[in-house]
Structure 1
């Protein structure tokens, strides 16, 4: 099969990456005034705490070093705007916004903006699935064919293999017909069944469980399982059972291209003609359970320890201890040393969480259990820099400073 010229809905330990375009999107960044916030709620990590040196204290000198590093990478990578938050209990918080939310008006980025979070949606969808596992509604080792008809190898592929990206199914967002349909009419809605049809027209890539291959198709199927077994729409289930109990009132599963204000505009080169465009009003239904959600810096600050530990901020369990233990089994993804993928979650050099990317936006929400440190970064571009996602470039620059023994260096892995 011939590849399309760009990648869509990347994230996690693999990127659907095929060509790099080089249109400059914005001028250099502008730093906002510092803003400190209280330390995040204490949440106990499951099992023994990994050994390792503490992150550096977020002193004024370290904060200035971070400011300079973020601004440098934004200038080099043509990132219009970014929001960054770092929190460790017992230390001052680091919250900054840099650059612009709108290149046309010069409106500055601010910490409270709504942002599209792309593949971080996967962490919410899989959390919903794991709650149904705890309720004995589904089993991780059930075949997907028990719940959804017409899946290639549906009698062999398990829900576990879908969640851990080892199904062997073709990634619908790599289909040239899908790419053409989306980019010629970015505001069109897609149904889950339409997305699956793009995948199922292709043969399977390998037999279930043979290897890791990051695939949005897997999450569309898991979203359908959640809906079937819960009797609720996916967004309604996530709101009632995941985000509301976590206190995440500004995290939502949008209807159509609805985007709460204030939000940042998002800049992409994943277009039909290859020219840069503002994708803020694109309809994210094509990402659905794999990438449609919206959130804020403060809400993702809550989510990082919640998804990494399986506990809500009040200490109650989001998923059982036994299920969370299974979730955090993160075997190495392909040949990527230090990067492993579990059940809708990754571990990159000790940082547990997920990243997200879809046209115009990127995000990174990770948690370091050894120090209970949370790092969140939100960007309003998805244009690669030297073959890497901008969120990876920024995450590496930040963690090189704050946690030199745990540098976030997500490898570049190409699929297809």
Structure 2
């Protein structure tokens, strides 16, 4: 079993035309070109389904639901799906939200809540958010590398995942480099619960979901998906099979949330535009604090739970056949959301959603493309 197949973040009309781009090539309504590109990609890569949407401001430019969900059931725009790494953006935004309200400080040491955790006296909440803590990724443990179905579908607790990660050596000294690790999000989620004495599901409801009418988004308490839901498929264990109800507990606070196309679009625009955070926290959200660490560069870097790619604020999820991708361009007020599921012949280790997103960006803002090396 390959880790890439389970990675949540793969980092290593015409009236809108003037708002979208200054390019003469895209001066006409881009919607037909977008629709054609999405349809062609689906066919060429044998995808089972594609959910796709582009908005300029609050106006819908194009939405598409292509393909099938379960046995012969057509995909519908409102279907719910596992939101994967979208969860990470919520958890990191929650950290900034709580800091805005003086309920904690970004430079609080983990020892405040985890006195016996390794390096807790050196690692801060900020380091967890930026993935500069040095904590190893539990996905690199022998348990997960074994490829056993019983391991991946075990109902993992957050503490079990943390213990598994800390059975391995640190990647580097805290704060000295960058290393994406799901462990950071798990510890961060647990820290926020301990800091507030409140379950993370409640914190997210109070901070973001209820105030912003994100009624189709939830931090679930079970593996259930709210109807109507999209079916996903995977070849994680060799054969092509329905993975919809596989237990996602192993992603924990880095990927447990469920949502739908409209809510994901609304969320990334709220987050990217600064509507849910203070101006100070909004700057921190996308600041190039990791540039120069690892492979982070000015045109492509990991910030606080989001990736900043040539000015696009985005995230890209991939696990168990779910592939939600979202992006927002503040200067143009453009939102793009894609969610794909694979067919029997599709490449399961490729983020097809990211490729569709990149093609869409090429059409909408050809002078502001997502770097090609981000694949």
Query: How does the TM-score come out when normalised to structure 1?
Result: 0.80
Aligned ranges for residues 277-316 of structure 1 at < 5 Å? 277-311=241-275
1:10–1:119 CA contact under 8 A, matched in 2: no
Give deviations 1:362-385, integer Å, cap 9, x for gaps. 111111011100111111249984
Are 1:325 and 2:283 counterparts? Answer: yes
1:123–1:345 CA contact under 8 A, matched in 2: yes
Aligned ranges for residues 22-61 of structure 1 at < 5 Å? 53=22, 56=26, 59=29
CA distance in 2, matches of 1:164, 1:310: 19
Give deviations 1:289-337, integer Å, cap 9, x for gaps. 10011101111121011111331xxxxxx22211221111034363355
Counterpart in the other structure of 2:43: 75
What secondary structure does 1:7 align onto? Answer: helix
Q: 1:195 aligned to 154, 161, 165, which one?
A: 161
CA distance in 1, matches of 2:359, 2:309: 14
1:364–1:376 CA contact under 8 A, matched in 2: yes
1:88–1:372 CA contact under 8 A, matched in 2: yes
What secondary structure does 1:115 align onto? Answer: strand
Counterpart in the other structure of 1:6: 3
Q: 2:239 aligned to 264, 275, 286, which one?
A: 275
Counterpart in the other structure of 2:310: 349
Q: 1:391 aligned to 349, 353, 362, which one?
A: 353
Shift of 1:106: 2.3
Counterpart in the other structure of 2:327: 366
CA distance in 2, matches of 1:224, 1:58: 49
CA distance in 2, matches of 1:403, 1:113: 28
CA distance in 2, matches of 1:52, 1:153: 48
Counterpart in the other structure of 2:182: 216
Aligned ranges for residues 151-170 of structure 1 at < 5 Å? 151-170=117-136
* CA pair 262-179 structure 1, distance change in 2 beyond 3 A: farther
* CA pair 238-8 structure 1, distance change in 2 beyond 3 A: farther
Q: 1:172 aligned to 138, 156, 164, which one?
A: 138
CA distance in 1, matches of 2:190, 2:62: 39
1:66–1:401 CA contact under 8 A, matched in 2: yes
Q: 2:53 aligned to 71, 85, 94, which one?
A: 85
Counterpart in the other structure of 2:34: 66
What secondary structure does 1:65 align onto? Answer: helix
The structure with the largest helix share of the pair is 2
* CA pair 186-90 structure 1, distance change in 2 beyond 3 A: closer
Q: 1:335 aligned to 264, 270, 295, which one?
A: 295
Q: 1:404 aligned to 357, 366, 371, which one?
A: 366
Q: CA RMSD in A?
A: 2.7
1:58–1:91 CA contact under 8 A, matched in 2: no
1:186–1:282 CA contact under 8 A, matched in 2: no
Aligned ranges for residues 225-236 of structure 1 at < 5 Å? 225-236=191-202
Counterpart in the other structure of 2:340: 379
Shift of 1:92: 5.0
What secondary structure does 1:375 align onto? Answer: strand
CA distance in 2, matches of 1:246, 1:205: 38
How many aligned residue pairs are there? Answer: 365
2:67–2:75 CA contact under 8 A, matched in 1: yes
Counterpart in the other structure of 1:46: none
Are 1:241 and 2:241 counterparts? Answer: no
CA distance in 2, matches of 1:58, 1:223: 45
Shift of 1:247: 0.9
2:218–2:257 CA contact under 8 A, matched in 1: yes
CA distance in 1, matches of 2:255, 2:67: 25
* CA pair 91-118 structure 1, distance change in 2 beyond 3 A: closer
Give deviations 1:78-101, integer Å, cap 9, x for gaps. 321111110113865211111222
1:11–1:355 CA contact under 8 A, matched in 2: yes
What secondary structure does 2:85 align onto? Answer: helix
CA distance in 2, matches of 1:299, 1:58: 28
CA distance in 1, matches of 2:220, 2:60: 33
CA distance in 2, matches of 1:240, 1:9: 30
* CA pair 89-412 structure 1, distance change in 2 beyond 3 A: closer
* CA pair 96-301 structure 1, distance change in 2 beyond 3 A: same
Query: How does the TM-score come out when normalised to structure 2?
Result: 0.89
Counterpart in the other structure of 2:109: 143
